[in-house]
Amino acid sequence: MRPVIIAANWKMNTTPADAGELAATIAARIEEPDVVRVICPPYVCLSAVRQALAATDVAVGAQNVHHEPGGAYTGEISAAMLSGLASWVILGHSERRRDQLESDELIGKKLARAVAAGLRPILCVGEQLAEREAGRAVEVVGDQLRGAVSGKDVETLMAAGFVIAYEPVWAIGTGRNASGSDAAAMAEAIRATLYTDLHWGEPAEVVPVLYGGSVTSANIGEFLAEPSIDGALVGGASLKPDEMAGMMATAAVTARARIAASGKAG
C-alpha cells in the first residue's frame, strides 16, 4: 500500500522570525498519523521550523540541494549542511528548472547526492502548456524521469523512500486547472516509464506519485479520489493553516480508506 503524503512547499516565503510559529500552528491543525506530513520552508527557516516541529511527527524538508558535496559554490547548500535540519528534499521543481535552468542530468546528480546523504527525495516532473497542447506531455515527463533516474539503483532509491511529484506547469498560478483524470493518466504514465523503460518492474507500482498543480482544499478531493494519486505537493495554500487543515481532512479520509482496503485484501 502506498502512503498518502501531503508536502508543503513554502517557496520564498516566511522569515526565521515567523516561520516557527506558522509551522507550529499548521502542525496542530494537521495532526493525522495516517498521513505523511512534510513542511519545506526556505533554508534560513529550517532551524526555526525544525525546533517548532520537534515534538510532532511532521517532517521537515529542504527545497533544494547542491549536487556536489562541498566546494567553491557561493550561495549553495550541500546535503551535509542539511544534516539535522531536514530529512526530506524537493528536487527539480519546475521553478528551478525555469529560473536556474536545471537540466535533467543535473537533477539526477542532485538525486544521487540527496539519497547518499539520507534525505528522502521528492522528484518533480511536469510539462509546459505548449508541450501539452502539442500532445507531447507524456513524452516530456518521460524524458525528465529518464534523465534523472536512469542509471540509479532501484533498491537504493526505494530504500530512500523515493517520491515523484507531477507538476503540470501550465496549471500552476495560471488560472487553468488540471483535472483529476489528467493527473491520474500522468501518474500511470510515470509508473509505466519506470516499469518498462527503466526496467524497474514491480517496485514501480509502489512509488508514491503526488499532484502539484495549484492544490487547495477545494480541489484536492478530485485528485485524491484517483487511486493512482498518493497525495499533494502544495504551494501557496500551504502557508494558510485553514487550507492545510481542509486538505488534511480529505487526505485522512483517503488514507483510512486505503488502510481499510489493504486490511480486507490481506
Q: Which of 44, 26, 36 is nearest to 85 (CA)?
A: 44
Q: Report the alpha-carbon distance of residue 133 to residue 183 in Å, rounded.
A: 15
Q: Which of 5, 29, 250 is nearest to 122 (CA)?
A: 5
Q: What does the angle CA 104 – CA 11 – CA 65 come to, to the nearest 5 degrees?
A: 45
Q: Report the alpha-carbon distance of residue 168 to residue 128 in Å, rounded.
A: 7
**Pairing between β-strand 120-125 and β-strand 88-91 as defined by DSSP bridges:** parallel
CB atoms within 10 A of CB 240: 17
Burial class (CB in 10 A: 0-12, 13-18, 19+), 11: middle
The single residue of 32, 127, 167, 243 carrying the catalytic annotation is 167
The single residue of 32, 66, 93, 222 carrying the catalytic annotation is 93
**Active site annotation includes 67:** no
**Active site annotation includes 167:** yes
Please give the grid coordinates belonging to residue 248: 488534511
**Torsional sign, CA 217, 49, 13, 168:** negative
Residues labelled catalytic: 93, 167
